[in-house]
Amino acid sequence: MENNSHEEFQYLELIKNIINNGNSENGRNGNTISLFGASMRFSLKDGKIPILTTKKVAWKTCLKELLWFIRGNTDNKLLQKDGVHIWDENASKDFMESRNLSHYSDGILGPIYGYQWRNYNAKYDFVNGCVFKDNSSHGIDQLQQIIELLKNPETRNSRRLIMTAWNPLQLDEMALPPCHILCQFNVHGGNKLSCSLYQRSGDMGLGVPFNIASYSFLTHILAKHCGLEAFEFIHFLGNYHIYDDHIEVLKTQITKTPFDFPTLTIKNIKDNINDYELNDFIIENYQCHELIKMKMRK
């Protein structure tokens, strides 16, 4: 497809802008060039899902991680059993020691994304990676609250459909403080569901393509689960950056011409949001350029 209106060009233009105008920074985990403040919009109508096409995106890995978040899981061993290794470096003994979390059980990552989605601010059991059994308060199940509001025609147009992973009270208990920190859902026209995400820190080479796909998947899942139609994903970025050893391969990627985005079908509506599995999702017509390898930063 050679139409410059293709939505993927938003992502490619952000990369070009960083390369041409970014500021050099020596950061926590490496040197970057970065800018601050950007946004992109992606249509989700008619089953469309923005899995980037100018490189191959491991969408099954992305979806497995999302389902792990949805269930409130924080044990990396569960991902490893499912063939997902994107959290391995952040779960390593050396990295956990650098976060003063060496007392955690092997693979336990702390009260990260899914925990905050499902048990916001509940006391964390660092041995078992779940809500502390003796805690009288189990925190706030933000995701379930949103589901209940979306299922009710009288409340689904609320402007308070917000879910946050950023909890200052528990940041020091997390292997990695969240990068994608807050999303808001919105229904208009009675049944059209959109999602906006605010991401404080965006690794344009590796992280952002996953984040675009993940929250688009999440919007489609909630739409299906709540009897709505997925409409749009809007992505707001704070600090968006490129690591210095990613620059050359991204210069190659931005020369590629995007293909049409694929479509998603969710086969079944489950009674419980926790029950969706990988084989419930069908991706059709995903055509992409070759895989581009980049080093992941922890």
- Give the position of tokens 């990695």: 176
The Cα–Cα gap between 142 and 140 comes to 6
The Cα–Cα gap between 167 and 181 comes to 9
The Cα–Cα gap between 71 and 48 comes to 25
The Cα–Cα gap between 180 and 200 comes to 6
Catalytic residue flag (residue 179): yes
The Cα–Cα gap between 241 and 178 comes to 16
User: Catalytic residue among 62, 130, 179, 195, which?
Assistant: 179
The Cα–Cα gap between 78 and 292 comes to 26
The amino acid present at 210, given as its one-letter code, is F
Q: How is residue 164 written in tokens? A: 């946050």
Q: How far is CA 289 from CA 212, 254, 256, 260, in A?
A: 18, 11, 8, 12
18: three-class secondary structure by DSSP: helix
Quick check: 109 and 129 in contact, CB under 8 A?
A: yes
Q: How is residue 184 written in tokens? A: 């808001």
The amino acid present at 251, given as its one-letter code, is K
Q: How is residue 131 written in tokens? A: 């809500």
Q: Catalogue the active-site residues.
A: 179
